[in-house]
Amino acid sequence: MAVSRIAGDHRFVLLLILITAIFFRSIPVITNTAWGFDLGIYYGIALRMISEEELFIDYDGWGSSYQYFPVLYILSLGISKLTGLDLLKVMVALAPVIGGLTVLLFYMIIMELTRNRRLSLMSSALLAVAPFHVYQTSHAAPMTVGHLFMLSSLFLFLKFKKDKGFLPFLLLSTILLILSHHLTTYFYLITIAGMIIWRSFKYGIGFGESSKELGYLILSSIMAFSYWRFVAKPVYYAFMRSGAGLEPHIVIISYFLLILVSIPITFSLRRHRIHLILSGLSERFARSCKKIFLISFFSLLAMEIYSMFFNIPATNIRMNPTAILLSIPLLLFASLSVSGLPFLSIGKGKSYIQGWLIAIGASLLYSLLTGNTTLYPERHIEYLMVPMCLPASLSIIEICKELNLYRFVSVRKKVSTEVLVSIVLLILVVSNGVTVYPSRYSLRFQDEEISDSCISATLWLRNHTHENDTIATDLRLSHLIWAYGMNATFDETERLWTCKDWRGCIDELEGKNRNYSRVTYILIDDVMRDFVVCLDVRKSVYMNETGYGKFLREPFELVYR
């Protein structure tokens, strides 16, 4: 059925897209008991909120500041209380639904900007399966809730521009975003700033015309900075300092100064007709859509082949043939997005997406150039995936218009553009959806599965260990150990998993110069034994046969299987 005909019953199509989005984000939950590298942190915080009867608990686990973003925990605890369902099951089942709802909000945003239902449906369908976004929003994590409230705030911001009556709803959504996730709040603030500044540059919008939007941006920024300064203090003193390399108060002053001077700067650039030059370039590139698509695809493919021999920038990961093969749907999506960028210059509404992309793109460039370990380059990708869906949709439409179908289809009558658009979109949706998780696993860098056996073993340990006992395991299961009130090694072991004999890791077993006491139990699951031992966000080791074999000999003793 052609897209235009389908769009006639858009509610059914939108429901189908929403179900698709939730389904693909639910696959890890369907196939595993639990899912998530940091799940134990969030589950443990929620458990302690009950036992300590405090909104902000005294957190003593790995990392910092997680306890100050309680929206996920409150939602999970509320549903668990109302339904009587197990808290862990509620938490892991809730996340894909929240992640899927972002697709509905994105549809509403594109409709608000373009008033084009077909384009909105296509863009939301692509976001339903956008690889990095699907993978990240499948997790029961504050970040997933942050994505939801970022998009709800963006939608309400667009409504607020036309009607001041939306301000209370916008402020409520912004507050929930601030309480959900600090990194997503950062991306939201720079996105709003990017939209305002870019539109000022492109259309000559001054302080007077944009005063309402600037006022909201300043107010929401003050709310975020105040929350970080007086409540979520680790974000203020660690995240802001390490992210920008400056003292937090200097970062804040610089941020507001940049906003204030940006509009005069854009007017200066307009006087030099820079905006007209860029518009002319966009028109030229728009006429070469197919060529840009092919150049982008093969350039990205060449970069992946290069990454078989050298680490991917800002990571310790290398590609392999299987990973490259599985990444082809993602490369097609990315290449379509790049080739569709020039079409964002057509129509005022799409300029918001341009500002969105420019803001996050600039942050990504900064993180790459500075080697930033707070604003991880790879974390930008999931946020870029959202606005990239619109130019990808525009590119699909344009390329399908240009194709000479007689070269590819042996039929008497030429296939319509609408049919071809539907076919291409379906291929992209299916191929990206089915490769989301296999492509990640093919890198053999991380596996976030938590099986029922892991839960059972953790509960056995809780019933058979004492207060001073320490359990050695990978970081994934260390979080789960901590959630149940026990001591774990977290990210402080390495030789323990790879050395051939216990003598080669005696310091780690004894806890010398470590933040844990002598190891009394060691927890190993099939992920650690057969796949990978995850020790940190960017650090993993592999347990070969000799590394695992030493645990089958003295002084180690098997106590639970």
List, for residues 30-69, the tens digit of each pLDDT value: 999 999 999 999 999 999 999 999 999 999 999 999 999 9
Strands 470-472 and 521-522: parallel
- Which pLDDT tens digit goes with each residue over 475-534? 999 999 999 999 999 999 999 999 999 999 999 999 999 999 999 999 999 999 999 999
pLDDT exceeds cutoff 50 at 406: no
**pLDDT per position as a tens digit, 345-364:** 988 899 999 999 999 999 99
The helix/strand/coil state of 470 is strand
Please name the residues in contact with 187: beta carbons below 8 A apart, sequence gap of 6 or more: 150, 360, 363, 383
Tell me phi and psi for residue 34, to 5 degrees. -145, 170
Picking from 301, 383, 293, 300, the residue whose alpha carbon sits closest to that of residue 341 is: 293
Provide the strand spans (E) within 386-431: none
Phi and psi (nearest 5°) for 230? -105, -15
Is 376:212 a contact under the CB 8 Å cutoff?
A: no
Contacts (Cβ under 8 Å, ≥6 apart) of 271: none
pLDDT at res. 1: 45
* pTM, 2 dp: 0.94
Q: What is the pLDDT of residues 235-249, one digit of tens each?
A: 999 888 887 778 999
Structure tokens belonging to residue 404: 């000479």
Residues 6+ positions from 384 with CB-CB distance below 8 Å: 357, 360, 361, 364
Asked if 201 and 270 touch (Cβ cutoff 8 Å), the reply is yes
Q: Where is 35: in which H helix or E strand?
A: strand 34-35
Q: Does residue 405 register a pLDDT over 60?
A: no
**Kind and range of the H or E run holding 249:** helix 248-271
Q: Which amino acid is at 520?
A: T
